Structure 1
Amino acid sequence: MHSLWQGKAPIYEALLKYKSMRVVPFDVPGHKQGRGNPELTEFLGEKCLSVDVNSMKPLDNLVHPVSVIKEAEELAADAFGAQHAFFMVNGTTAAVQAMIMSVCKQGDKIIMPRNVHRSAINALIISGAIPVYVNPGVNKQLGIPLGMSVAEVKKAIEENPDAKAIFVNNPTYYGICSDLKTITELAHRHNMYVLADEAHGTHFYFGVNMPVSAMAAGADMSAVSMHKTGGSLTQSSFLLKNGRLSTGHVRQTINLTQTTSGSYLLLSSLDISRRNLALDGKSIFKKVSSLAHYAREEINKIGGYYAFSTELINGDSVFDFDHTKLSVYTREIGLAGIEVYDILRDDYGIQIELGDIGNILAIISVGDRELALERLVSSLSEIKRLYMKDKAGMLDHEYINPDVVMTPQRAFYSDQHSVAITDSTGYVCGEFVMSYPPGIPILAPGERITEEIIDYITYSKAKGCFLTGTEDLSVQNIKIVEES
């Protein structure tokens, strides 16, 4: 019975019905099922443009769902084990911001690790909430931030008993999970909400032998990037909700920033992908796991590279590890991750997810094939042979503890002026600096700029990282807060 129920895809089915009715459109979008834009229709296909439609009674309305979108939300909630699921078309960014803004208003504290995605700190700029950062542990060898240890979270709760919520990455970009269940129990005992950023954790809900998902751990809300590992179109996402929060209040918060013209291309891709994962997720992610395992073993045989995995688990700051993330430490061969990333793309025609100072990350998902992974492994082997050099002089850390001087909102909206980054030591930063991907800030508004941070930015630029966030697109200058 259950799988029959999950075999439905209400939005997709409504669109098929709409197409069969051969409706004459006198509504938006103005391309009128593609007829007004032949180049675009040729590029994307008539099938695609014919269902790029506006909300109407037979197709429901994302802002206020009462029929097919409502039914699709119920199916998604059931598939993810949540009380409610919201369809998000402004990316997981909008889901993260809606989570934070629905529980935190101006002046409210939220406990979070500093290695959050920029969308979480942006939510603080919009809402005026105050971050209480729990510094994640750091793996000194790999130079990567880990999860939050339970003791650190406990300490933050004791020092900030008035905090409204705890925000947790599940997993981090590198696949590292905190002890979400214990953190959730701890938070709930202190009457705090738990919000999970599961941008990289869709498969936790459907795979076997995966780290615990936020909904299973009892978290209050979770932002799930269905498009990253679940097969839906880029920018489509779910916001899942459990328990105490009012569904209507969360929807109103989402509607503060989410478009009123929800894309039916994105909505139907979520609907179809949810159906696929609910019916076949176990076998899909079993294949993903075995591909990742194969690639990891082969890369570790090359020597010089270290494709890390579950051996990092220490029961606390690395409570669990997402083995589908193919993270590879490259510094032993004398190359920064970003250098390997660039060589793979430019010389081998292989595009991986990210390269940073010490590591590369390849995302393995539902669409990968063994042949492609063999090509990645052989390319890494050849890169080692051709480019390996002495690792002297390499910078060895990804995470710098921030010195938070003022709230992100106050800093962002304060009077500022621009100085050269090289001359900015000691000032308070008024904007972001981050390497994208992963989009985790090196500096966020309201943080003190130090020599160590400037060295890190300079080194990242020299190695070829794509730095973003500053008003100055060349990232030579930085806006600093004019302190009175």
Structure 2
Amino acid sequence: MNTPLYHALRALSQKHTARFHMPGHKGKDVLPDFGPILPLDFTEVYETGNLYTGEGPIRQAEEQAARFYHAPDCHFLTGGSTQGIHTMLYAAAGAGADVLFDRNCHKSAAHAAAMLDLSPAFVFPKTIEPFGIPGLLCPDEIDRALSQNPSIRAVLVTSPNYYGVRQDIPAIAAVCHAHGAKLLVDAAHGAHFPAVGLPSPIEEGADLAALSAHKTLYALGQSAMLLSGGTIDSDRLREGASLFGTSSPSYAMMVSLDLARDALEQDDSYQKAAEAVHALRLHLAEHTKFRPLTGHDLDPCRLTVSTAGTDWTGDKLADTLYERFGVACEMSDARNMVCIVTPADLGDNLDRLREALDTLSREVQQTVLPAPLPPLPVPRPALSVRRALLGNASTLFLDDVQPGMVCARPVTPYPPGVPVLWPGEEITAEHIVFLRNQCYNTIDRISVYQP
């Protein structure tokens, strides 16, 4: 095992030092089911290293992760990719900057825009029908947006997205760099890519990328990594991570990052998981009424199954899988159900999922496909994101919302899984009609800014 942090903390725990420092459990077996973890749960003391100063076994573990992802540098995070997104925007753009956002970005990007007082512009992904989900961004549209606003310092895109769709990062990176902008990638769902033969965003030309190891690896919840292409000052990145993260980062999380990365290098189990997902996609397409997402540049370990063209919603499919078969999906919406697959699912879990979908397919009835989603209304900025999100707000029923009001929180119906409104945007009659007609089952209230 090539796990410098794990080995250092394990050796330290075996010294049986009298720990007159935090955490309060002192490494003793004082909580049920936590016994093996607590001895490795330290703080910044002798021989443990310090996350925010980049030293000791933590730094050695980060270097091993950078090597694995073919990136010049890596920083561990204990606040998930949310901390990574905040840090990337802080380091690459800075306060008051203009930033181009993939409209499919995570809500943490809106929070960063408020905290850093960023001015957003947007590029919209194309919709994949009949799934009604966000697909590819057009590099030419990014080029036009950057040409129209040369002051944009950074571009933030999501790849892969929740449904497994991967963006053309090399093409987008080339466009960004031609305009002198940094490319930041929210790759929260792609930490496993090297284990299935896919490059990291840094290998594809991105300047920074945030990876949620806890989403697809064996790491503990909130464990994440920030990969750097070497174009952003490392001290600035650590400063940002410290600014947006806890001053008491979890050593248990960091050890899990070290071990999870090492596990990726030990065997081909993730490749076997990808092959199992491929086989299941083929099976569902040929033998059920459900429609698996295929034919796109996808995460090979993500299974997106659509109920479009049947009398069931994706939400009903997910709920039934759980209630009748004990199968818990990652998420669902009006048209789709999404499963995250890792090697831990090989065998029984995937067999149960396939058998359950076979059974339920015999119960659903085929119907006509839903009409394609109309284009989203054009955004109309009215206030800064900072003022709208951090100011006073009220939650109103959709029937009480009037044109001319200003949105205070992101409004993101599924489908399309893309914000119809962002904080600071004027709510128009077109927005209200869109939400009533397309999202009547999912959006019935909106937070509006109160002057």
TM range (shorter): over 0.9
TM superposition shift of 1:349 = 0.6
Checking the alignment, whether the CA contact within 8 Å between 2:377 and 2:420 is kept in structure 1 is: no
Secondary structure in structure 2 of the residue aligned to 1:176: coil
Structure 1's unaligned 5+ residue stretches are 1-6, 313-319, 462-475
CA shift, 1:390, in A, is 4.4
Residue-by-residue CA offset, 1:341-384 (whole Å, 9 max, x unaligned): 11111121100111112111111112111332222122112223
Residue 296 of structure 2 is aligned to residue 304 of structure 1? no
Aligned position for 1:288: 273
Distance in 1 (CA, whole Å) between partners of 2:402 and 2:350 is 44
Matched position secondary structure for 1:458: coil
Give the aligned partner of residue 99 of structure 1. Answer: 88
Instruction: String of CA shifts for 1:52-72, please: whole Å, max 9, x gaps.
Output: 222212111112132111111
Contact kept in structure 1, 2:127 and 2:416, CA below 8 Å? no
What is the CA distance between 1:200 and its match in structure 2? Answer: 1.1
Q: TM-score, normalised by structure 2?
A: 0.92
- Residue 381 and residue 425 in structure 1: after superposition, are their counterparts in 2 closer, same or farther (change >3 A)? farther
Among 213, 238, 243, the residue aligned to 1:226 = 213
Cα–Cα, structure 1 residues 267 and 360, in superposed 2: closer, same or farther, change >3 Å? same
State the match for 2:440 in structure 1: 458
SS in structure 1 at match of 2:185: strand
1:378 has 2:365 as partner: no
Q: For residues 101 and 287 of structure 1, what CA distance do their matches in structure 2 show?
A: 38
Q: CA deviation at 1:290?
A: 0.8
> Match for residue 26 of structure 2?
32
Query: Which segment is superposed worse, 300-309 or 127-136?
Result: 300-309
Structure 2 counterpart of 1:249: 236
The 5 A counterparts of 1:192-231 are 192-208=181-197, 210=198, 212-231=199-218
Give the aligned residue type for 1:195. Answer: L
**1:148-182 CA-partner distances (Å, limit 9, x unpaired):** 11111111111111100111212111121222101
Residue 290 of structure 1 aligns to which amino acid in structure 2? E
364, 378, 391: which is aligned to 1:414?
391
* Residue ranges of structure 2 left out of the alignment (5+ in a row): none
User: Retained in 2: the 8 A contact 1:354–1:437?
Assistant: no
- Which structure shows the higher helix fraction? 1
| Contact 1:336 1:359 (8 Å CA) reproduced | yes
Q: Measure, in 2, the Cα distance between the counterparts of 1:399 and 1:81.
A: 39
CA contact (8 A) 1:135 1:401 kept: no
Contact in 2 for aligned 1:296/1:326 (Cα 8 Å): yes
* C-alpha RMSD of matched pairs (Å): 2.3
2:23 is aligned with 1:71: no
The alpha-carbon distance between structure 1 residues 410 and 79, as it changes in their structure 2 partners (threshold 3 A), is: same
Deviations 1:249-304 (A, max 9, x none): 11101110211211111000000111122343xx1221011110111111112332
Closer/same/farther in 2, CA of residues 55 and 234 from structure 1, 3 Å limit: same
Matched, 1:90 2:79: yes
Aligned partner letter, 1:88: L
Counterpart CA distance in 2 for 1:284 and 1:399 is: 41
| TM-score (normalised: structure 1) | 0.86
Q: Within 2, Cα distance between the matches of 1:268 and 1:435?
A: 37
Equivalent pairs: percent with the same residue? Answer: 28
Q: Is the 8 A contact 1:144 1:398 kept in 2?
A: no
Could you tell me how far 1:429 is from its partner in structure 2?
A: 1.0
Runs (4+) off by over 6 Å: 435-439
Aligned counterparts of 2:279 and 2:374: Cα–Cα separation in 1: 27
| 1-structure distance, mates of 2:46, 2:68 | 26
Change (3 A) 1:441 1:257: same
Shift of 1:418: 3.9
Matched residues in 2 for 1:379 and 1:399: separation?
A: 35
Counterpart of 1:369 (choices 325, 333, 346) is 346
1:13-24 correspondence runs (5 A): 13-24=7-18
